[in-house]
Amino acid sequence: MAARDLLRVRDLSTRFFTGEGQINAVESVDFDVREGEVFGIVGESGSGKSVTAFSLLDLVESPGQITSGELWYRDEDLAAEFREQRPEAVDGEFVDLRRTSERVRRSLRGPSFSMVFQDPMSSFNPTLTVGEQIAEAVEVQRRASTNPRSTRSRTQGYGLGRMLAGMVLPDSGYVDEDSEAQAVKLLEEVGIPDPAERYDAYPHQFSGGMLQRAMVAQALAGEPDLLVADEPTTALDVTIQAQILNLLDDLQAETGMSIVLITHNLGVIARMCDRVGVMYAGEIVERGTLEEVFEQSVHPYTEGLLGSIPDLDDPAPRLQPIEGSVPNLLDAEMEDRCYFADRCPKAMEKCLDKPPEIECEGEHAAKCVLAETEYHDSRRLPEDYFEEVADD
Amino acid sequence: MSLGRFLIKRTVHGVFVVWGVVTVVFGLRFLTPGSPVNAVAPLDASQELRQRIARDLGLNKPLYEQYFDYLFSLLQGDMGYSYLRGIEASTLVLGRVPATVELAVAASFIAVVLSIPLGVIAANRRHEPADYGATLFSLVGISTPNFWLGIMLILVLSVQFGLFPTSGRPLGLYPALALLVTEGAPGGLLRWLHHIFLPAVTLGTYFTALITRLTRSGMLDELGKSYVRAARAKGLPEALVRYRHALRNTLVPIVTVVGLQLGTLIGGAVITEAVFSWPGLGSFLIRSINVRDWPLIQGSLVVIGVSFVLVNIVVDALYAYLDPQVVTE
Amino acid sequence: MISPRTLRNLRSELRRSALAKLGVTLVVGIFLMAVFAPVLAPHDPTDQNLNDSQLPPLGFSTTENRTTSEFVDGEVTIVEEEVTVNATAEHPLGTDSLGRDVLSRTIYGARTSLLVGVIGALLAVLVGVTYGLVAGYYSGRVDDGLMRAADVMLAFPSLVLAIALIGLWGRAAIRIPDPFVAAGITPGMPPDIVLPGTVVLVVALVNWGWFARVARGEALSLRSQEYVTAARSMGAGDAFIIRTHVFPNSVTPILVLATIQVAAIILLESALSFLGFSGATLSWGFDIAQGRQYLSSSWWIATMPGIAIVLAVVGINLVGDWLRDALDPGIEQGEGGV
């Protein structure tokens, strides 16, 4: 149980500066990811889950910007490197990536962090073969390790002339043969039949499920410590969803990496995760272990989410949808109060103030005034609850 | 479908279009008021000559026979006889081809070399002065009639500063290169460059502007796509993300649009030749129309149409090569 | 066809984009200039006055040394004198080689360009859209045959074809009485608007293929829509379905294309006039050809009409961009989503 933290996210905020105004997509988010665990982030669409994922890898694109926060990542070597130079960015074995340079953050993509995206079809370049794109991911790391100086260089020694030739001639030498062989091996590892042959196929010649496997292979190319999976199964058929989840499970067991799993699907969370954060309107409103959040939920929003899943064992009660929809996160329209108050069945006057995050028991915490009062009541409730279940 | 089959299909289509072009050109003769003999014969032709022309044209034969005769003689490279100039039409017409090809290639070269970097810079520095400059240039560039641009260039660079000749092509590229190779004298080549510079800039400006615009918007489009984010996520250096991934995919729509605009290039060449007295097919066509030398008109039109179709097939091949999805669809 | 939502999009895009505002301003300006040419023009554009030929535009008064030889008392004396040619407010943009007012000619030139551009584009829309809708709606073999024919048409560079056709058909000009002169508001101005008929016909003929392509694409995608199938199942005739369902839904792309084509046709018309293939003598392209011969002495004769063409075409292209951005929201998006 004493798994160490791999990543500590503190007060992370990401905003988009659009023509219509400032959008607070991620607002002051805190969470930890431990070694070898699956941390789930669950929420409705538009709650800021994906932007959180992009923020972790520094992939937020203009007009978006990470406006504040710290990303403490545990890496002894990096910490040693920065201890002298920038002592304020180092805390024990942890380094605050936000205080490092963009090149450092880029060099960590692959060997430290990697990502599986929602829609495999649009996340592969349509004009390059799948194999070449995976080999490219291997090659980046190979070049980085053979020549650490060029790790953070702009082109990794892949010069302008080659780049121009590469525009017209596809396979012009960025990828080396070993990397190709490694890519075929990766394809095999993720269960793609005839990997050597499929190497030369283009994305549009793959099925959705196979392409998602290929994307997992690409994400594994740098042997990452942390895999961020953003809705990895949403675009797939139900039967294939299960296959991909099993694949992620197996790979995690094999490599011991951590996974941040982002989904709107509570079933996926329940099946995969050790700990969970529930996101609403850019904030993590409740977090804790899977059991704490699912069985002793405090925040009315989490309760609402759980109440909107059909229960096969007890189909009688009508599903309880949450009334209304997620606010649009436009800064001008966000007042300083609980964002869920409009839709909350238990809203009270206090909710017009911003609720602090209140620690419950263990790791369980919620941003809701009810956490103080109701938590201790709900402590009693489960006993009755479990008795009732036992009676059935 | 394999790439080979795709190209065969496009070529068959091209042959069909060439046949259509030839048919239209043949038909033009009948859209013209008066007897076809009037179109071919010099104004002062004797009755005897007129009869000979009528016989040569096969006017006494049924229409379909005239048509097939025309097709077959074209296949053998025979474009008819210019009675006005007293020479085979094909000799004159084909003699004009190199000058036009030189001009078109030089203009395309200028366009490609300038526009793609310009568009990329504009996209990389969105909302910065470089971007506004490139946008303004491309807007004005696609809106400027090239004959006027040519005249303005002459006005400033030739009349005011005397930097470039205003017209003519003293020698072709081929003899210029031959001079360079056999005698090691670069003078001919320099002279050629000196003369072709203004016409090529005039003809190339529209395409530079158009491709700059397409490159900029295409790059912005591609950079917003998820595969670019995915490429960054695997740790690829930004330069590789932009050039190996995004720019290459930007070329696909560019090739498509440029293919569609080839007609503009050829039309532009005609008028540029007229402005700079460049002795190519375009100025030749205009002069032939003005004197109504029918076999020369027909011959030039056929050559222009056929070369247009040929270039289109090349563009299709490039397109299929750049975008593998085209071939499988 | 034009829903309130469309109008809202148009308005918000216009408010957002400075270029769209510039485009609309230019187009409205040129349009008013064309309509009210007789009122706005300070002189009759065809009025020749050799005493006042080649006057420079305001701010460009020239001084040059002229050498003349005089024959006085059986002796030739060479006189060098400084000649000053003063610009006058009478002719703000100067005069051409025949002493005609360049400003007035430029204002009147807008008429020819816009008339040819708009009428030519409308003709091309009429022919091309009908053709394309029929091809796309019936699809299959009808489509194949019709579109191959259109491809042949497009296979030919439009300027080359236009030159050939006009060269062979001649330069017919249609004279339309100018309403301002006819109503006696501006007596002394040219009584007719000269519309180069062959040019209008030819520009429509070489450009209809683009509209056929777009209309066909729209019809192809629309014909399989459920409401079209539903209409057909209720026994509606083909012509009725094309008119009431297919056409209204393809208006947007055709409108955008037509706008851009007006600009292309204006450029084509100016090129034809420049080459002398148009019947109109009050046209920007024609004036550029005239001024070309006086480049070394009177640069403004060729320059002014050219600037007018650039402004008109820039304006129309900007309006085209505005329509495209406002009516087709898929174009500039794809980034920065939350």
Residues C76-88 have pLDDT tens digits of 777 777 777 777 7
Residue-range domain boundaries for chain C: 4-55+92-327, 60-90
Q: Which two tokens stand for residue B304?
A: 């222009």
Q: What is the pLDDT of residues A178-211, one digit of tens each?
A: 888 999 999 999 999 999 999 999 999 999 999 9
- Both B71 and B85 in one domain: the answer is yes
CB contact under 8 Å between B220 and C335, yes or no, is yes
For the cut 50, the answer to whether the pLDDT of residue C57 exceeds it is yes
pTM for the full model? 0.84
- Give yes or no: residues B174 and B134 share one domain: yes
Name every residue in C having a CB less than 8 A away from some CB of B: 19, 148-149, 151-152, 154-160, 163-165, 167-170, 263, 267, 270-271, 274-275, 285, 288, 291-292, 295-296, 299, 302-303, 306, 309-310, 313-314, 317-318, 333-336
Q: Supply the Cα-derived Rg of chain B in whole angstroms.
A: 24
Choosing from B90, B115, B150, the residue where a domain stops is: B90
The residue segments making up the domain with residue B85 are: 3-90
Fold of A1-112+226-334: Rossmann fold (3.40.50)
Which DSSP category does B58 fall into? T
Nearest chain C residue to B311 by CA: give it.
C155
Q: Are residues B51 and B196 in the same domain?
A: no
Residues B247 and B136 in one domain: yes
pLDDT at position A274 is 92
Report residue B112: phi and psi, to 5°: -70, -45
The letter for the amino acid at B116 is I
* C-alpha to C-alpha distance for A216 and A229, rounded to whole angstroms: 9
Helices (H), A152-283: 160-168, 177-189, 195-198, 208-220, 238-255, 266-272
B240/A204 touch (CB, cutoff 8 Å), yes or no: no
- Sort out which chain C residues have CB atoms less than 8 A from B289's CB and list them: 163-164, 167-168
b/e burial code for range B190-226 (CB count within 10 A of at least 16 → b): ebbeebbbbbbbbbbbbbbbbbbbbbbbbbbbbbbbb
Q: Which subunits sit against C, judged by 3+ Cβ pairs under 8 A?
A: A, B
For an interface test with C, give the residue of B147, B276, B291 to mutate (most C CBs within 10 A). B147
C266-277 pLDDT tens trace: 999 999 999 988
Hey, how many other C-beta atoms are within 10 angstroms of the C-beta on B172?
Answer: 16
Q: Which of B68, B90, B112 is the last residue of a domain?
A: B90
**A8-22, B74-88, B182-196, C14-28, range with the lowest pLDDT:** B74-88
Domain boundary among B61, B90, B119: B90
Eight-state DSSP code of residue B299:
H
pLDDT band for position B163 (50/70/90)?
A: very high
Same-domain pairing of B85 and B101: no
Q: What is the pLDDT of residues B260-295, one digit of tens each?
A: 777 788 889 999 999 999 999 999 998 888 887 888
CATH number at residue B232: 1.10.3720.10
Assess whether pLDDT exceeds 70 at residue A354. yes
- ∠ CA(A206), CA(A208), CA(A211), 5° rounding? 60
Considering the domain architecture, whether residues B133 and B49 belong to the same structural domain is answered as no
ipTM for the assembly: 0.86
A-contacting residues of B 270-329, CB under 8 Å?
322-325, 328
- Report yes or no: B131 at the C interface, CB cutoff 8 Å: no
Instruction: Tell me the average pLDDT of chain B.
Output: 86
For domain C4-55+92-327, give the CATH number. Answer: 1.10.3720.10
Chain A, window 230-259: residues with a beta carbon less than 8 angstroms from a chain B beta carbon: none
The verdict on a CB contact (< 8 Å) between A25 and C338 is: yes
**pLDDT given at position B36:** 66
CATH 3.40.50.300 domain position(s) in chain A? 1-112+226-334
pLDDT at C30: 95
The answer to whether C156 contacts B155, with C-beta atoms less than 8 Å apart, is: no
Query: Over chain C, what is the mean pLDDT?
Result: 84
Residues 109-148 of A with CB under 8 A from B: 109-111, 114-115, 117, 119, 122-128, 133, 136-137, 140-141, 144
CB-based contact, B255 to chain A, within 8 Å = no
Taking CA–CA distances from A144, the nearest residue in chain B reads: B235
Q: Which chains touch A (3 or more CB pairs under 8 A)?
A: B, C
Q: Which residues in C lie closer than 8 A to residue A329 (C-beta atoms)?
A: 338
- Is the pLDDT score of A278 beyond 90? yes
Q: How many domains does chain B have?
A: 2
Is the backbone of residue A190 left (phi > 0), alpha (psi -120 to 50) or beta?
Answer: alpha
